[in-house]
Structure 1
Amino acid sequence: MTVQEVDQETFVQEWEQWHREHDEVLAGPHGFLAITSLHWLSPEPTRFEDAPGAWSSTPGGVVVELTEGEELTVDGVAVRGRHDFGVIGERDSLYPGFGDAVIEVAKRGGHDILRPRHPGNALRTAFTRTPSYAPDPRWVRTGRFVPFDTPRAVTVGASVEGLEHVYDSPGQVEFELDGTVHRLTVFNGKDAGSLTVLFTDKTSGVTTYAANRSLGIAPPDAEGRVRLDFNRAANLPCAYTDLATCPLPPAENRLPVAIETGERIPLERGGQP
């Protein structure tokens, strides 16, 4: 076996592990496929079929009022009666327990929301896998991070009509494909120094999910170089369920080329195996 063959085999194995782990998180007992509803909280205490208590959004934060016999678990402690969750930060979530379920309490686009997550949800129990293109090293590109002088607040739309998200962008990433240089606006990633990019391309709505895909990028090196592995272009939760509030890509991130790699339209949305 040649060195090139060994490298290809390792490349495929690492991609398969990434793809498997992405599906496992999505379909975990309390992952996005376990969400049974999306509730926009108001000042009026309101009860919902899939969660205990009456929930409201107040100036002091989210409040739940539990009646006799109702209970939540917060940080391992049983909670009864009235409980104040306080003001929740934008894009933050809390997960009080309820039997084998959790009740996500979160803020998205400036609105307090409630998303119960039940392991027995049919969307989760019927899930098998996410279709994807076969991994191909051709889609691994070396790019360059071009920082802004100061981070810019970028407002983008959302999968929920009328909702907007605001993210700080540290700059853009440029890369070459088939002789053409493309530039994408990036946001901060989960890990320190890492980046994430939301994009669409000519496959969007054809073989890949129409609204968006996401690509994580490791921190730039000392010379600003970055590695873009489009084989790991991933679906966001809105590709599977209408109960997600995913951000849409900035207008400049609509690539005029077909990125024929990464995750494809989910089977749940009519995608092909």
Structure 2
Amino acid sequence: MNTIKFLFLLTICAAGTGFLSIRDDTGYVNELKAWHQKRIESLKAENGWLNLAGLFWLEEGKNSFGADTQNNVVFPAGKSLPLLGSFTLKNGEVWVDIEPGAKVTVNGQPVTSLKIFSAEDHPVLASGSLRWFVIKRGNKYGIRLRDLESPGIQHFTGINTYSIDQKWRVEARLEPAATDKKIPITDVTGQTSLQTSPGTLVFTIDGKEYRLDAVESEDQLFILFADKTSGKETYGAGRFLYAERPNRQGITVLDFNRSINPPCAFTTFATCPLPPKQNRLPIAVKAGEKNYGNH
């Protein structure tokens, strides 16, 4: 699963944009508040971003794991046995072997030895409050660890946002790519992948025209952008925005009030894609989510 498809899980927070129409301010504000509450709930969920507790890149061959600091993969102290088992990475597949007496499960069933990553499958393993699974980024394979008792959840108090303003809900025209366009997207680990782009979204704010390249994300458009607030009032590496696919006239809506922080704003254990240079807007987009914490 590539980065963009993986991040499509965030679209639960971005659904329901709708095409541009005259909106009742009160109804629109209530709609955005309800959307943002779902966004908060998704961050706090078991598969959300607030409970990440580690990201460990595997070496080819055997990688021991557990709470002992001598392991290749070191789980949080007090959360597991000193040695839970080992991961073996070979030829693009990952196997796990569990130590006798260690209680590790998949879907509630005990595990002793199991292939936990292939092109078709990568199950979630569990022990106590810990959950982990394999991710692939470029040619790298890693263990993503969650802790359902994470301080990230316990200390979470919400996300500051700009005041909702319909000025930032704009009609955009998709300028289709002339050919099968792909744009390079680099993530925070330095891995670059070519993502399919249907074209460029062209829109106007305060009488001036701006452009943003979109990439495909299942049945939506995914936009990575930065602006003059980035690194000041908003997350330094930019924000995410989703939009519906254009109608028959090539029109969709960009609602910057729905701009969200990437996962890296909440945790150091995410592998977020970064905005391409052409998606750095020369204006301050004072809409959507502001910066969170110190990430």
TM-score by length of 2: 0.81
Select the residue among 92, 95, 119 that pairs with 2:124: 95
Q: Which moved more, 1:246-255 or 1:92-101?
A: 92-101
Match of 2:37 in 1: 20
Match of 1:64 in 2: 96
Partners of 2:52 and 2:146 within 8 A in 1: yes
Percent identical pairs in the alignment equals: 33
Q: Which moved more, 1:69-78 or 1:35-44?
A: 69-78
> Are 1:49 and 2:70 an aligned pair?
no
> Are 1:252 and 2:283 an aligned pair?
no
Report the alpha carbon displacement of residue 9 of structure 1 after superposing the two structures with TM.
1.1
Match of 1:183 in 2: 211
Question: 1:175-214 to 2 correspondence within 5 Å?
Answer: 175-190=203-218, 192=219, 194-214=220-240
Partners of 1:63 and 1:85 within 8 A in 2: yes
> Are 1:229 and 2:255 an aligned pair?
yes
In the TM superposition, what whole-angstrom CA distance separates every residue of 1:248-267 from its partner, at most 9, and x where no partner exists? 0111000001100100000x
Partners of 2:129 and 2:149 within 8 A in 1: no
Helix, strand or coil: the match of 1:145?
strand
Partners of 2:131 and 2:146 within 8 A in 1: yes
Helix, strand or coil: the match of 2:228?
coil
Work out the CA distance in 2 between the residues paired with 1:260 and 1:155. 27
From the superposition, tell whether residues 152 and 53 of structure 1 become closer, same or farther in structure 2 (CA, over 3 Å): farther
Report the alpha carbon displacement of residue 172 of structure 1 after superposing the two structures with TM.
1.3
Partners of 2:116 and 2:122 within 8 A in 1: no
From the superposition, tell whether residues 42 and 240 of structure 1 become closer, same or farther in structure 2 (CA, over 3 Å): same
Partners of 1:93 and 1:107 within 8 A in 2: no
Helix, strand or coil: the match of 2:181?
strand
Report the alpha carbon displacement of residue 15 of structure 1 after superposing the two structures with TM.
0.6
Partners of 2:257 and 2:288 within 8 A in 1: yes
Work out the CA distance in 2 between the residues paired with 1:129 and 1:241. 14
Query: Could you list the runs of 5+ residues in structure 1 that have no partner in the other structure?
Result: none
Report the alpha carbon displacement of residue 77 of structure 1 after superposing the two structures with TM.
3.4
Partners of 1:156 and 1:248 within 8 A in 2: yes
Partners of 2:117 and 2:123 within 8 A in 1: no
Work out the CA distance in 1 between the residues paired with 2:154 and 2:146. 13
Partners of 1:212 and 1:248 within 8 A in 2: yes
Work out the CA distance in 1 between the residues paired with 2:202 and 2:89. 42
Query: Could you list the runs of 5+ residues in structure 2 that have no partner in the other structure?
Result: 1-21, 66-72
From the superposition, tell whether residues 195 and 241 of structure 1 become closer, same or farther in structure 2 (CA, over 3 Å): same
Q: Which moved more, 1:118-127 or 1:165-174?
A: 165-174
In the TM superposition, what whole-angstrom CA distance separates every residue of 1:67-88 from its partner, at most 9, and x where no partner exists? 11224333453321x2112424
Equivalent pairs counted in the alignment come to 259
